[in-house]
Amino acid sequence: MTHPSTSPGAGLKSLARMSGAMALSWVLLACLPPPARAADAAAVKSPAQVLIEHGLLAVRTDPEASKRDADSALELLRRTPDPDLEVRAHMLLCDYQSERDSAAAQREIAAATALLPHVRRQALRAGVLDCQGAIFETGGDNAKAMVQYQEAVSIAAREHDDEMLAQSLFSRGYLLGVQGDYATGLSELRHADALFERIKKPLHAQTTLNSIAILYNRMGDYVQARRIYARALKAQREAGLQREQAVTLHNLGRVDENLHDWDAARQAFTGSLEISRRINYTRGEAYALRGLAAVENATGNPVGALETLKSAQVLQQQTPDARLRAQIQLARGIAFHKLLRLPESTAALEDAVEVLRQADALGELNATYSELAAVYAETGNWPSAYKRQTDAKQTSDKLLKNQLDQRFAALKVEFDTAAQEKENAALKRQNEADQKTLAQARSVRHLQAAVILLAVLLVLLLAMLAVFQHRSTLQMHMLAMTDELTGVPNRRAVLGRLDPLLRRSDSSACATLIIDIDHFKAINDQHGHPAGDEVLKVVAATVRSAVRESAFFGRLGGEEFLIVLPGADLQEGRRVAEVFRERIESIDTSRWFADRRRITASIGVAVSVPGKDTPSTMLQRADLALYAAKRSGRNCVQTEPTPEPDLGAAVLDA
C-alpha cells in the first residue's frame, strides 16, 4: 500500500512490539520477587507461585495453558491469600483477555487494583498501569495509554524497581515512536534494553531490539529493520519461542512489503500464519492474512485478496484491535478499486480513514487518502477527489518532514550518547597506549561517515518530496480546471487559453462558437435533472470528439459550450459550426425520451479582430449571434458581423 504497502511500522502493539498481550506478559515476568527477597522466594515456592511461573512461560507457546494455570492459581489463593501472587495471576489473565475481550480484561485490572493497597511490592502498581495502557493502546486510544505509561514510569522510578522501570520505559518508548517522536522513543527503548541486559533478561532485551527495529521501519530505514528482525528470528527459533516467531515474521513481512519485495513478504506472512494457527493465536493469524491480502493486491489478484480478507475479518471480530480492522478495510478498498467496484471501495476506505485518523497513523492514512482520491475521480466526484488528494498531500508532507526531523534528532541522540561515552572512556584511559587513542579516532570517523550518509539520504528524500509535490500540484490544477459534470475543460480553463491567443500581436483572426442546447429547461422540467445531466454529458462528449488541435473546447456553464478555432475566418467558423450542429442533432435520444425527440442546438459565431478583441468582447459578440439564432427559430447557426474598418475590425459578410 504505501499501497499495498502501508505506513512504515506494523499495526498496534499487538504485532508491532510482540503484541500487547506479550507486553503484558513481560510485566508479569518482571513481577518476580525483588533481588533482596530472591533467596527466600527460591527456598520455598507455594503451589500458586509455581502455577503462575509456569503460566508465564506458557504465554509464549500455549496461551490456553497460561489461562488454565492462572485460574488454578487463583483457586488456590482463595484458601491461602497472598496479594502479590493474586495481582500477578490477575495480570496473567488480563494478558490473555486483552486480545479477546476488552471487558473481561478490564475486570481483571479492577480485581488487581483492589488488591494493590495490600501488596508488599509497591512497584506492582506500575505493572497494573502498564496493563491498562496496553488495553487502551490496542483499542486505538493512544492519549489515554500514554497517561498510564507516564504514571507507570514515575512509580517504577520512585520505587527503584529496575524490572518494572524497564517494562514501563519500553511501553512509553514504543508509543512515542507510534506518535512520531522517534528520537525520544529510541532513547527510551535503548534505556529499557540496557536495564533488561543488566538484570539478565536477554529475551526481553532481544524483543526491545525488535521494537527499535519497528521505529527504524517507521523512519524509512528498512534495511536496518530487516537486519534486526532476521537476528531476532534466529534466536527465537533456537529457543523454540513460537509466538515470538509468529510476530517477528509478521514484522519482517511488513518491512518486505514496504520494500515491495513481494516474494519475501509472502513467505514471511505465510510463516507467521502457519505458526499462529498452530498455537491458536487468533490475532496473529488475522494480521498475517491481512499481509497476504496486501501481497495479492500488489501482484494483481484482487479477487484472491478479498477471499483472504473474508477470513481475516472473521478473526478480527474476535479481538478488540481497532487498527487491525482499519488495515483490513484499507486492503478491501484497494481490492474493490482494482475490480472497479467503486461504491464498495469508497465505503471501505472511508471506514479505514476514521480509525487511522484517530490513531494518527500517517503512513496508512496517506495511502488511504490517495486511494480514495483515485476512486472518487473515477466516479466523477471531483470535489471529493480534490479534497482527498489535498488530505493525502498534507499527510505525506507531514510524514516526510517528521521522518527527516526525527532522523536527525535520533542521529544527534546517538552521536551525543556515543561522544559522551567515549569522552568518559578517554578520561579513564588517558594513560593508555596510543593504539587505544587511534581506535577512538576510528570510531569518530565512523560516526562522521554516518552523518555524511544521512546527509545523502536527506538529499534523496527532499528530491522525492519535490517530485511528489510537483505531481500533487499538477493533479490539483487538473481538478480545478475541469468541469465536474461533463469532464471537459471548464470556463476558467477555456477562457484562460483564449486570452493569451487574443493578446498575441502576431496572431491571425480566430473564430469563437457559443453552442446553446435548445429547450434545455424543458428537458429538465419534463424528464428530470438526471436526464438533463446525461444530455449535457453526451453533448459534451459528441462535441469534444469532433474538436481537433489547435482548436479547443470547454463548458461555459449551464447548457452553453464554447469552441475556439485559431486562424479561422467567418466562413470557416460557420462551416464548422454547422458540422457541430448536425452532430448534436444526430444524437440517439431513445435512452431518455420515449418519443425520440431530438436534441438540437443554436450556435452563434464571431471572429476576432487581431490585437483589438478581448475574451469579454468576443463572448459578447458571439452571444449576440447566438441570440439571433434563437430568434430565427433555433437549431441553426448565425454570425455576428465584426465592427467597421474605421473601428479597427475586419468586416466579413455573414
Q: Label each residue of 583-617 as H, E or C.
A: HHHCCCCCCCCCCCCCCCEEEEEEECCCCCCCHHH
Domain-embedded: residue 635: yes
Q: Which of 170, 236, 175 is nearest to 203 (CA)?
A: 236
pLDDT at residue 337 above 70? yes
pLDDT in tens, 112-140: 899 999 989 888 888 889 888 888 887 77
Domain-embedded: residue 231: no
Domain-embedded: residue 524: yes
pLDDT at residue 22 above 50? no
Does residue 466 or residue 634 have the better pLDDT? 634
Residues 6+ apart with CB under 8 A from 508: 566, 567, 610
**124-138 helix and 83-97 helix, angle to the nearest 10 degrees:** 10
Instruction: Give the mean pLDDT of the chain.
Output: 80
Domain-embedded: residue 574: yes
Judge contact between 482 and 488, C-beta under 8 A: yes
Instruction: Tell me the sheet residues that pair with 515.
Output: 561, 603
- Give me the pLDDT at residue 615, please: 92
Q: What is d(CA 543, CA 554) in angstroms, rounded to the nearest whole number?
A: 10
Burial 373-387 (b: 16+ CB within 10 A, else e): bbbbbeeebbebbbb
Q: What is d(CA 223, CA 654) in angstroms, rounded to the nearest whole number?
A: 74
- Mean pLDDT for the stretch of residues 25-37: 45
Domain-embedded: residue 508: yes
> Which DSSP state fits 82?
-
> Which DSSP state fits 120?
S
Domain-embedded: residue 463: no
pLDDT in tens, 561-605: 999 999 999 999 999 999 999 999 999 888 888 777 899 999 999
- Give me the pLDDT at residue 218, please: 73
Q: What is d(CA 250, CA 214) in angstroms, rounded to the nearest whole number?
A: 11
Cα Dmax for the chain? 118
455 by Cβ neighbours in 10 Å (0-12 / 13-18 / 19+) ranks as exposed
- Please report the sign of the dihedral spanned by the C-alpha atoms of residue 544, residue 557, residue 576, residue 615: negative
CATH assignment at residue 577:
3.30.70.270
504 by Cβ neighbours in 10 Å (0-12 / 13-18 / 19+) ranks as exposed
pLDDT at residue 347 above 60? yes
DSSP 552-568: EEEEEETTEEEEEEET-
Q: Which three cell numbers stand for residue 493?
A: 480553463
Residues 6+ apart with CB under 8 A from 44: none
What is the domain extent for residue 569?
A: 491-647
Judge contact between 374 and 337, C-beta under 8 A: yes
Judge contact between 214 and 17, C-beta under 8 A: yes
Does residue 641 or residue 281 have the better pLDDT? 281
Q: Which three cell numbers stand for residue 352?
A: 479505514
Whether omega for the bond prior to residue 550 falls within 30 degrees of 0, making it cis, is yes
- Residue 193's identity, in one-letter code, is D
Domain-embedded: residue 522: yes
Judge contact between 273 and 310, C-beta under 8 A: no
- Mean pLDDT for the stretch of residues 239-254: 86
* Rg, the chain, Cα only: 35
Q: Which three cell numbers stand for residue 309?
A: 480478507
- Residue 626's identity, in one-letter code, is L
pLDDT at residue 256 above 80? yes
Is pTM, for the whole model, over 0.85? no
DSSP 255-304: HHHHTT-HHHHHHHHHHHHHHHHHTT-HHHHHHHHHHHHHHHHHTT-HHH
191-200, 264-273, 617-626, 631-640: segment of lowest average pLDDT: 191-200
- Give me the pLDDT at residue 158, please: 92
Domain-embedded: residue 298: no
Q: Which three cell numbers stand for residue 432?
A: 593508555
pLDDT in tens, 384-427: 888 888 988 887 777 776 666 555 555 545 544 444 444 444 55
61-70, 265-274, 396-405: segment of lowest average pLDDT: 396-405
The domain total for the chain is 1
Q: What is d(CA 308, CA 299) in angstroms, rounded to the nearest whole number?
A: 14
